[in-house]
Amino acid sequence: MKYYSTNKEAPIASLHEAVVKGLASDKGLYMPAEIKKLPDTFFEHIDKFTFQEIAFEVAKAFFGEDVEENALKGIVYDTLAFDCPVVPVEKNIYALELFHGPTLAFKDVGARFMARLLSYFIHKDDIKEEVNVLVATSGDTGSAVANGFLGVKGIHVYVLYPKGKVSKIQESQFTTLGQNITAIEVNGTFDDCQALVKNAFMDKELNHVMKLTSANSINVARFLPQAFYYFYAYAQLKTLNLHNNVVICVPSGNFGNITAGLFAQQMGLPIKRFIAANNANNIFYKYLETGIYSPKPSVQTIANAMDVGNPSNFARILDLYHGSHAEISNRISGATYTDEQIKNAIKECFRNNHYVLDPHGACGYQALKDGLSESEVGVFLETAHPAKFKQTVDKILDTEIGIPQKLADFMKGKKSAVELAADFNSFKAFLLQNKNAR
């Protein structure tokens, strides 16, 4: 499969190139040249297959030309070593729980897949030189990437995070791992971390002596596998005979997750429509209303993984529907919630259903409450386990929610991080010194 850039000014890339580069040279996002329709028989029998079997069929449509079949099967089966169940919450409303992976958030799926795919290419092309993954994080991305790549041979991961600005729970998920993971605690903000990573990719000398790559959410190897669980959700609804008039609601920040759902629909998955649920960062909501896309600096909310003022995957949505506002608003409707409304949704849902939402899933739940009609079946993506936001959720519900064993185990680990100033020369010197020390 060939990959083109949404800006159409970069050379066409192979899958391997698109994965290693992340962003195309014209700063566009890579798109697969073709989105293959899956056969009707696949959808007729989808409820007879396991999650792994379904995902393998979907993966073959994207990666089948570039990855040998057995290897691809191994990558998919290994990635999806946990379930993504559809759980009833209240009448006509279901949660697709994407938090049963190692770091309890949906980003585990893409991060694990990308690590295994990159490792496949390193072996296939017999790359001897170590590959270095640089990732800046405000919390969730760093943990998913670090755990996804943990122990993968030939790859070293550097996670940069702002000192004192991520929660203890989040910090423990990437500072206690050791092995091929180095955590760097930057005296600065998330933007400083991101700037350090960007500067590293542009530094000629550094790129001459080290192979650098990014694992951020725009990477096709992280983005495309997110389509898997939309098919699996549909399969589970079919088992319950609830597969007609399905509305999928996605709590959205950078819009990677929902775009993967739109790809699934293009492949033939019978989804009636989508809802994109925003927190107060409602650039997409405004776009649907007005037809004008005007990015803004992000504002801080309690659903902080969605605090995005310029959603990068908007470029993919535009490309998918040839820039047509009419087509986009036909398929996707919007919703936006303040912190007060998010808190109320968490309270109400717990009171009425005894289901504990996290602040991101709460936006999705509320958007279904507000936008679903009688004849529709609504599924919202529960993107993280509420215990990842324990302080916030405990305060809202005035209770102590339990911590899953996986999370408790991280918190028992010993923190190891390198402290650095938000200064590119110190960062560069550290990378070079660390490379030589290994």
Ligand X SMILES: *Cc1c(COP(=O)(O)O)cnc(C)c1O
Residues 355, 89 contacting (CB under 8 angstroms): yes
Phi, psi of 94 (to 5 degrees): -125, 150
Binding site for ligand X (CB under 6 A): 105, 107, 140, 217, 251-257, 305-306, 360, 383-384
Rank residues 236 and 254 by Cβ distance to ligand X and give the closer one: 254
Q: How far is the CB of 96 from ligand X (least distance, A)?
A: 12
Q: How far is the CB of 318 from ligand X (least distance, A)?
A: 16
Q: How far is the CB of 258 from ligand X (least distance, A)?
A: 6
Rank residues 118 and 306 by Cβ distance to ligand X and give the closer one: 306
Please, which residues have CB within 8 angstroms of residue 68's CB and are 6 or more apart in sequence? Answer: none
Rank residues 305 and 328 by Cβ distance to ligand X and give the closer one: 305
Rank residues 138 and 175 by Cβ distance to ligand X and give the closer one: 138
Nearest to 102 by CA among 115, 92, 111, 90: 111
- In single-letter form, the type of residue at position 42 comes to F
Helix or strand (DSSP H, E) at 332: strand 332-336
Alpha carbon 276 to its chain's center: 15
CA gyration radius, the chain: 21
Rank residues 32 and 364 by Cβ distance to ligand X and give the closer one: 364
Say which DSSP state 29 is in. B
- In single-letter form, the type of residue at position 151 comes to G
Residues 252, 280 contacting (CB under 8 angstroms): no
Q: Which residues of 346-359 are buried (b: 16+ CB within 10 A; e: fewer)?
A: beebbeebebbbbb
Q: How far is the CB of 144 from ligand X (least distance, A)?
A: 8
Give the residue carrying structure tokens 């700037």: 195
Please, which residues have CB within 8 angstroms of residue 32's CB and are 6 or more apart in sequence? Answer: 1, 2, 3, 62, 220, 224
User: Catalytic residue among 107, 238, 343, 390, which?
Assistant: 107
Rank residues 145 and 420 by Cβ distance to ligand X and give the closer one: 145
Residue 250, helix vs strand vs coil:
strand
Q: How far is the CB of 299 from ligand X (least distance, A)?
A: 15
Q: How far is the CB of 291 from ligand X (least distance, A)?
A: 21
Please, which residues have CB within 8 angstroms of residue 11's CB and are 6 or more apart in sequence? Answer: 25
Rank residues 188 and 251 by Cβ distance to ligand X and give the closer one: 251
Q: What pairing do the DSSP bridges indicate for beta strands 332-336 and 273-278? A: parallel
Q: How far is the CB of 254 from ligand X (least distance, A)?
A: 3
| Spatial distance between the Cα atoms of 181 and 171, rounded to a whole number of angstroms | 13
Could you confirm whether 198 is annotated as catalytic? no
Rank residues 122 and 384 by Cβ distance to ligand X and give the closer one: 384
Q: Which residues of 229-263 are buried (b: 16+ CB within 10 A; e: fewer)?
A: bbbbbbbbbbeeebbebbbbbbbbbbbbbbbbbbb
Alpha carbon 48 to its chain's center: 27
Helix or strand (DSSP H, E) at 161: strand 155-162
Q: How far is the CB of 278 from ligand X (least distance, A)?
A: 9
Nearest to 213 by CA among 326, 92, 84, 121: 121
Residue 382, helix vs strand vs coil:
strand
Residues catalogued as catalytic: 107
